[in-house]
Homo-oligomer: A and B are copies of this chain.
């Protein structure tokens, strides 16, 4: 049985999204059990409205407080210790749940998760990873996406280990190709941190393929692309912004005249298939890596379908032993460092 704690109150919409999404996943996966964390009477009501086929797949856990999207990290961390986010993470810490999924505010979730679960041995800083769609029809996992704005080469090396373990676990790829995000493929390119990271990565057992550039993410050159959180966050928001603009313009083009509206009618199935392929809801669910527990963060504005995808990613991560794979990955690197120092 895979037990997942859901922060039912988090995100822009809270209960009307989180509870139906959990029910949707429960109907699909019979070996999942949900801890629905939030204001008990409200959660109960939302659960009944979603009419689950097997109500025994759900346990409601009461939480008095809610961390809003506007709450600062300090407020989230110190003043709202009885929040649904705290309770959901405590369930993971107490081993009542194998994973936690929240659509709550990213800064707060990272801080509270780190405070409650602590980081894995050998990891200095947790990171946030997500998959972006590539032209091979798969996803390229990129990290860090904003948890760490100033990174040392050692941090980036740890991101590479964690990202590699995530892809091994969630995508079942044995030796994921790891690329280092840089401004050219040549090893002389980039800033000092990146150059040093490249040296470190070459000395590991990871499948490091060298420097990659921004467009390689969409070409699918590597399974894992490593960068610092400043670069990753700018990149993520830029591509989201461009995708939104392009979709909007395509729509506008079809709405312009009588002829174009007619064309839209005829092209509708084609446009829908295109939209489906580009649908970023399919890639919802960023992993908070490097913690002593599995935590996934959904987009705050996720709908039921998108939140469901985030839950499924958490489910797959538990099923394929993400945590154990990360620990093994760290040990392998530590071991290879140790072996080298003994020589």
A interface list, Cβ under 8 A from B: 133-135, 146, 149-150, 181, 183, 190-192, 194, 213-219, 227, 229-231, 233-246, 248-250, 253-254, 256, 259-260, 262-264, 266-267, 269-271, 273-274, 277-278
Contact = CB atoms under 8 A, between A and B. Distances in A.
B233 A214 contact: yes
7 closest A-B pairs (Cβ-Cβ)? A215-B241, A214-B237, A214-B238, A218-B241, A183-B233, A253-B274, A267-B267
Given A135-B249, A149-B183, A263-B266, A238 B241 contact: no
A253 B277 contact: yes
Contacts of A239: 214, 238-239, 242
Contact of A244 (B215, B227, B254): B215
Contact of A235 (B191, B214, B218): B214
Contacts of A237: 183, 213-215
Q: How many copies altogether? A: 2
Given A191-B149, A242-B243, A253 B273 contact: yes
Give chain A's interface secondary structure class.
helix
A226 to B, nearest CB: 12
Contacts of A227: 234
A181 B149 CA distance: 13
B213 A245 contact: no
Given A244-B218, A270-B264, A191 B150 contact: yes
Nearest to A248: B135
B192 A150 contact: yes
B256 A273 contact: yes
A338 B233 CA distance: 37
A260 B266 CA distance: 9
Given A235-B214, A254-B270, A190 B245 contact: no
A213 to B, nearest CB: 5
Contacts of A218: 238, 241-242, 244-245
Contacts of A250: 250, 274
A240 B214 contact: yes
Contacts of A264: 267, 270
Contacts of A219: 241, 245
A74 B63 CA distance: 64
Nearest to A149: B191
Chain B CB within 10 Å, residue with most, of A135, A240, A253, A256: A253
